[in-house]
Protein backbone atom coordinates (compact mmCIF):
# COMPACT_ATOMS: atom_id res chain seq x y z
CA UNK A 1 0.00 0.00 0.00
CA UNK A 2 1.36 3.41 -1.04
CA UNK A 3 0.50 6.89 0.25
CA UNK A 4 1.39 10.53 -0.26
CA UNK A 5 0.96 12.83 2.74
CA UNK A 6 1.55 16.52 2.13
CA UNK A 7 2.83 18.69 4.96
CA UNK A 8 4.11 15.60 6.75
CA UNK A 9 7.00 17.03 8.73
CA UNK A 10 4.95 18.53 11.55
CA UNK A 11 1.57 18.76 13.24
CA UNK A 12 -1.38 16.85 11.86
CA UNK A 13 0.53 15.71 8.80
CA UNK A 14 3.25 14.17 10.88
CA UNK A 15 0.70 12.34 13.01
CA UNK A 16 -0.93 10.95 9.87
CA UNK A 17 2.39 9.92 8.33
CA UNK A 18 3.49 8.13 11.51
CA UNK A 19 0.20 6.23 11.63
CA UNK A 20 0.18 5.27 7.96
CA UNK A 21 3.83 4.18 7.99
CA UNK A 22 2.76 1.11 10.00
CA UNK A 23 1.08 -0.31 6.90
CA UNK A 24 1.98 1.88 3.91
CA UNK A 25 5.00 3.07 2.03
CA UNK A 26 4.70 6.81 2.69
CA UNK A 27 6.05 9.73 0.70
CA UNK A 28 5.78 12.82 2.89
CA UNK A 29 6.31 16.38 1.75
CA UNK A 30 7.82 19.32 3.57
CA UNK A 31 8.81 22.88 2.68
CA UNK A 32 10.89 24.75 5.20
CA UNK A 33 12.13 22.43 7.91
CA UNK A 34 14.46 19.76 6.56
CA UNK A 35 15.49 18.75 10.09
CA UNK A 36 11.92 17.82 11.05
CA UNK A 37 11.43 16.00 7.76
CA UNK A 38 14.60 14.00 8.24
CA UNK A 39 13.56 13.11 11.78
CA UNK A 40 10.28 11.76 10.37
CA UNK A 41 12.23 9.65 7.90
CA UNK A 42 14.50 8.36 10.65
CA UNK A 43 11.59 7.57 12.97
CA UNK A 44 9.27 5.89 10.47
CA UNK A 45 11.13 5.03 7.28
CA UNK A 46 8.96 7.44 5.28
CA UNK A 47 10.47 8.93 2.16
CA UNK A 48 10.56 12.73 2.20
CA UNK A 49 10.32 15.23 -0.65
CA UNK A 50 10.50 19.00 -0.67
CA UNK A 51 7.36 20.35 -2.30
CA UNK A 52 5.79 23.79 -2.24
CA UNK A 53 2.23 22.69 -2.89
CA UNK A 54 1.36 26.09 -4.41
CA UNK A 55 3.83 25.47 -7.26
CA UNK A 56 2.67 23.57 -10.34
CA UNK A 57 6.24 22.48 -11.06
CA UNK A 58 6.63 21.15 -7.52
CA UNK A 59 3.34 19.27 -7.72
CA UNK A 60 4.37 17.63 -10.98
CA UNK A 61 7.78 16.75 -9.53
CA UNK A 62 6.10 15.19 -6.49
CA UNK A 63 3.93 12.92 -8.62
CA UNK A 64 6.93 12.01 -10.78
CA UNK A 65 8.86 11.02 -7.65
CA UNK A 66 5.89 9.05 -6.35
CA UNK A 67 5.70 7.12 -9.61
CA UNK A 68 9.36 6.18 -9.19
CA UNK A 69 8.77 4.97 -5.64
CA UNK A 70 5.38 3.37 -6.27
CA UNK A 71 5.51 1.66 -9.68
CA UNK A 72 2.45 -0.39 -8.71
CA UNK A 73 0.33 2.72 -8.18
CA UNK A 74 -0.97 5.11 -5.53
CA UNK A 75 -3.48 3.93 -2.93
CA UNK A 76 -3.95 7.09 -0.88
CA UNK A 77 -3.43 10.83 -1.23
CA UNK A 78 -3.75 12.91 1.93
CA UNK A 79 -4.00 16.63 1.16
CA UNK A 80 -2.86 18.02 4.49
CA UNK A 81 -0.36 20.80 3.70
CA UNK A 82 -1.66 24.24 4.54
CA UNK A 83 -0.73 27.55 6.08
CA UNK A 84 -2.31 30.21 8.24
CA UNK A 85 -2.04 33.88 7.44
CA UNK A 86 1.16 35.59 8.50
CA UNK A 87 -0.80 38.23 10.40
CA UNK A 88 -4.40 38.11 11.61
CA UNK A 89 -6.21 41.19 10.34
CA UNK A 90 -9.81 42.26 10.35
CA UNK A 91 -11.56 41.44 7.06
CA UNK A 92 -11.74 45.19 6.38
CA UNK A 93 -7.95 45.45 6.61
CA UNK A 94 -6.76 42.14 5.12
CA UNK A 95 -4.51 42.34 2.07
CA UNK A 96 -4.72 40.80 -1.39
CA UNK A 97 -1.19 39.49 -0.96
CA UNK A 98 -2.24 37.43 2.05
CA UNK A 99 -5.38 36.26 0.25
CA UNK A 100 -3.40 35.13 -2.80
CA UNK A 101 -0.84 33.29 -0.65
CA UNK A 102 -3.44 31.30 1.27
CA UNK A 103 -5.59 30.51 -1.75
CA UNK A 104 -2.52 29.26 -3.64
CA UNK A 105 -1.37 26.96 -0.85
CA UNK A 106 -4.60 25.88 0.83
CA UNK A 107 -6.91 25.62 -2.18
CA UNK A 108 -5.19 25.72 -5.56
CA UNK A 109 -2.40 23.42 -4.38
CA UNK A 110 -4.48 20.50 -3.12
CA UNK A 111 -7.07 20.92 -5.89
CA UNK A 112 -4.55 20.50 -8.69
CA UNK A 113 -2.44 17.92 -6.87
CA UNK A 114 -5.62 15.87 -6.58
CA UNK A 115 -6.16 16.26 -10.31
CA UNK A 116 -2.74 14.75 -11.00
CA UNK A 117 -3.18 11.97 -8.45
CA UNK A 118 -6.70 11.12 -9.63
CA UNK A 119 -5.54 10.70 -13.22
CA UNK A 120 -2.89 8.27 -11.99
CA UNK A 121 -5.36 6.41 -9.78
CA UNK A 122 -7.71 6.01 -12.75
CA UNK A 123 -4.94 4.27 -14.67
CA UNK A 124 -4.69 1.68 -11.88
CA UNK A 125 -8.42 1.64 -11.10
CA UNK A 126 -7.96 2.16 -7.37
CA UNK A 127 -7.27 4.82 -4.76
CA UNK A 128 -8.63 7.01 -1.99
CA UNK A 129 -8.26 10.75 -1.52
CA UNK A 130 -8.49 12.76 1.71
CA UNK A 131 -8.73 16.52 2.12
CA UNK A 132 -7.77 17.71 5.60
CA UNK A 133 -9.61 21.02 5.85
CA UNK A 134 -10.87 22.76 8.99
CA UNK A 135 -13.91 23.84 10.96
CA UNK A 136 -13.01 27.21 9.42
CA UNK A 137 -14.63 25.96 6.21
CA UNK A 138 -18.01 26.74 7.82
CA UNK A 139 -17.07 28.98 10.76
CA UNK A 140 -16.57 32.71 10.14
CA UNK A 141 -13.55 34.28 11.86
CA UNK A 142 -13.45 37.91 10.77
CA UNK A 143 -9.73 38.22 11.50
CA UNK A 144 -8.91 35.12 9.43
CA UNK A 145 -11.04 35.69 6.33
CA UNK A 146 -8.56 34.41 3.76
CA UNK A 147 -8.02 31.20 5.73
CA UNK A 148 -11.76 30.58 6.05
CA UNK A 149 -12.35 31.21 2.35
CA UNK A 150 -9.51 28.88 1.35
CA UNK A 151 -10.92 26.07 3.50
CA UNK A 152 -14.48 26.62 2.29
CA UNK A 153 -13.17 26.24 -1.25
CA UNK A 154 -11.36 23.06 -0.31
CA UNK A 155 -14.68 21.61 0.85
CA UNK A 156 -16.14 22.19 -2.61
CA UNK A 157 -13.06 20.64 -4.19
CA UNK A 158 -13.72 17.49 -2.16
CA UNK A 159 -17.33 17.41 -3.32
CA UNK A 160 -16.42 17.88 -6.96
CA UNK A 161 -13.83 15.12 -6.98
CA UNK A 162 -16.07 12.79 -4.99
CA UNK A 163 -18.84 13.23 -7.56
CA UNK A 164 -16.50 12.81 -10.53
CA UNK A 165 -14.67 9.74 -9.22
CA UNK A 166 -17.42 7.81 -7.42
CA UNK A 167 -18.36 5.64 -10.38
CA UNK A 168 -14.67 4.85 -10.92
CA UNK A 169 -14.35 3.31 -7.46
CA UNK A 170 -12.15 6.09 -6.05
CA UNK A 171 -13.39 7.43 -2.73
CA UNK A 172 -12.93 11.06 -1.74
CA UNK A 173 -13.33 12.29 1.84
CA UNK A 174 -12.90 15.43 3.89
CA UNK A 175 -11.72 15.53 7.48
CA UNK A 176 -12.57 18.78 9.26
CA UNK A 177 -10.33 19.11 12.32
CA UNK A 178 -11.34 21.40 15.12
CA UNK A 179 -8.96 22.96 17.60
CA UNK A 180 -5.91 20.68 17.34
CA UNK A 181 -2.76 21.09 19.40
CA UNK A 182 -0.13 21.95 16.78
CA UNK A 183 2.46 24.66 16.27
CA UNK A 184 -0.03 26.50 14.02
CA UNK A 185 -2.07 27.50 17.08
CA UNK A 186 0.80 27.74 19.57
CA UNK A 187 0.45 31.51 19.95
CA UNK A 188 -3.23 31.23 20.89
CA UNK A 189 -3.20 27.80 22.55
CA UNK A 190 -3.78 29.22 26.03
CA UNK A 191 -6.79 31.21 24.79
CA UNK A 192 -8.28 28.09 23.21
CA UNK A 193 -7.73 26.09 26.39
CA UNK A 194 -9.63 28.75 28.33
CA UNK A 195 -12.48 28.75 25.80
CA UNK A 196 -12.71 24.96 25.85
CA UNK A 197 -12.87 25.02 29.64
CA UNK A 198 -15.64 27.58 29.27
CA UNK A 199 -17.77 25.33 27.07
CA UNK A 200 -16.57 25.88 23.50
CA UNK A 201 -16.55 22.12 22.85
CA UNK A 202 -18.99 19.44 24.05
CA UNK A 203 -16.00 17.13 24.47
CA UNK A 204 -13.98 19.26 26.85
CA UNK A 205 -10.48 18.77 25.49
CA UNK A 206 -8.32 20.03 22.69
CA UNK A 207 -7.75 17.63 19.82
CA UNK A 208 -4.41 15.98 19.11
CA UNK A 209 -2.78 15.06 15.81
CA UNK A 210 -3.40 11.42 16.66
CA UNK A 211 -7.16 12.04 16.60
CA UNK A 212 -6.95 13.04 12.94
CA UNK A 213 -4.55 10.21 12.20
CA UNK A 214 -7.06 7.67 13.48
CA UNK A 215 -9.77 9.01 11.17
CA UNK A 216 -7.34 8.81 8.27
CA UNK A 217 -6.58 5.23 9.26
CA UNK A 218 -10.25 4.29 8.96
CA UNK A 219 -10.34 5.72 5.44
CA UNK A 220 -7.04 4.10 4.45
CA UNK A 221 -8.23 0.70 5.65
CA UNK A 222 -11.37 0.90 3.55
CA UNK A 223 -13.78 1.05 6.47
CA UNK A 224 -15.62 3.99 4.88
CA UNK A 225 -15.60 2.88 1.27
CA UNK A 226 -19.38 3.18 0.92
CA UNK A 227 -19.30 6.73 2.26
CA UNK A 228 -17.58 8.66 -0.53
CA UNK A 229 -18.01 12.41 -0.43
CA UNK A 230 -18.50 12.46 3.33
CA UNK A 231 -17.26 15.15 5.68
CA UNK A 232 -15.93 13.74 8.94
CA UNK A 233 -16.07 16.22 11.82
CA UNK A 234 -13.06 15.59 14.05
CA UNK A 235 -13.75 18.55 16.30
CA UNK A 236 -14.90 17.40 19.72
CA UNK A 237 -18.51 18.13 18.79
CA UNK A 238 -17.92 21.75 17.80
CA UNK A 239 -20.12 21.38 14.70
CA UNK A 240 -23.24 20.48 16.69
CA UNK A 241 -25.86 23.16 17.26
CA UNK A 242 -27.82 23.31 20.48
CA UNK A 243 -30.25 25.59 22.27
What is the CA angle 122-111-81, rounded to 5? Answer: 110
Catalytic positions are: 147
Domain 2-234 is found in CATH 3.40.50.720: yes
3-state helix, strand, coil in the chain (%, to 5): 50, 15, 35
Segment 142-175, tens digit of pLDDT: 999 999 999 999 999 999 999 999 999 999 999 9
Strands of 47-50's sheet in order across: 47-50, 25-30, 2-5, 76-79, 128-132, 171-177, 231-234
Contact status, residue 169 vs residue 226, Cβ threshold 8 Å: no
| pLDDT at residue 186 is higher than 80 | no
The whole-model pTM stands at 0.95
| pLDDT at residue 206 is higher than 80 | yes
Question: How far is residue 150's CA from residue 101's CA, in Å, rounded to a whole number?
Answer: 10
Domain extent listing, the chain = 2-234
Amino acid sequence: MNAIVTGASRGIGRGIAVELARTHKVLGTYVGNLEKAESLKSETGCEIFRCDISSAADREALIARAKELFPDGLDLLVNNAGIGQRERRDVLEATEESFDELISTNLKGPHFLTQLAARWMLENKRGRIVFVSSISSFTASVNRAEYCISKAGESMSRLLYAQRLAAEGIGVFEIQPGVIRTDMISKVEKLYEERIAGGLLPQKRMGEAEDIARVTRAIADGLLDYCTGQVIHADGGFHMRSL
